[in-house]
Amino acid sequence: MGKLGSLFLNVLTGGLADKLLGFMERREAVKLATMNDEQKRAYDERTAIRDDALAVRMATSTFWEMRLITFIIAACFTLHLVLVTLDTVLTGVSWNIPKLPAPFDYWEGIILTSFFGLTGTTMLARSAVSTAVLTRRNK
């Protein structure tokens, strides 16, 4: 995205992105400065685990197997949601679609939200923040 993306982000947010990033960087620096050695080790371990998990996701994101599994999981829950919605909304339709058995009844909403809501939002936010941070570092 580069400088043009950073400029667009700043124009779009009225400079709020730069201010927010500056605040986050200062807060992180203060947090790290006030940690004792044990807390810093734990922080470094959490960061390493998060980085490793991201590396695995990035490395496997293009595998057709991962895409197939993701599609199947999303399709099952999405189909159920669509059928329940149609059964509920349309008059004259009485399919009586049952709720999913436990624990899927609980996890259905969380899974759908993570696939369609959080995933897209998180990717957009990470992209914007990464671009802004890289642009700030390259100044």
In the chain, how many domains are there?
Answer: 1
* pLDDT higher than threshold 60 for residue 114: yes
Q: How many CA atoms lie less than 13 Å away from 58 in the CB half-sphere?
A: 7
- CA 79 to chain CA centroid, Å, is 22
What is residue 4's predicted lDDT score, i.e. its pLDDT?
Answer: 65
Pick from 126, 109, 112, 114: which is nearest to 50 by CA? 126
Distance CA 123, CA 84 (A): 29
Q: Is residue 94 within 8 Å of residue 87, measured between CB atoms?
A: yes
For residues 70 and 40, the model is more confident at: 40
Confidence label for 99 from pLDDT (cuts 50, 70 and 90): confident
- Least confident range from 52-56, 77-81, 101-105, 126-130: namely 126-130
What is residue 97's predicted lDDT score, i.e. its pLDDT?
Answer: 85
Q: What is the DSSP letter of 61?
A: T
Which residue segment(s) compose the domain that 130 sits in? 2-138
Q: What is the mean pLDDT of residues 18-23?
A: 78
Q: Please name the amino acid found at residue 66.
A: M
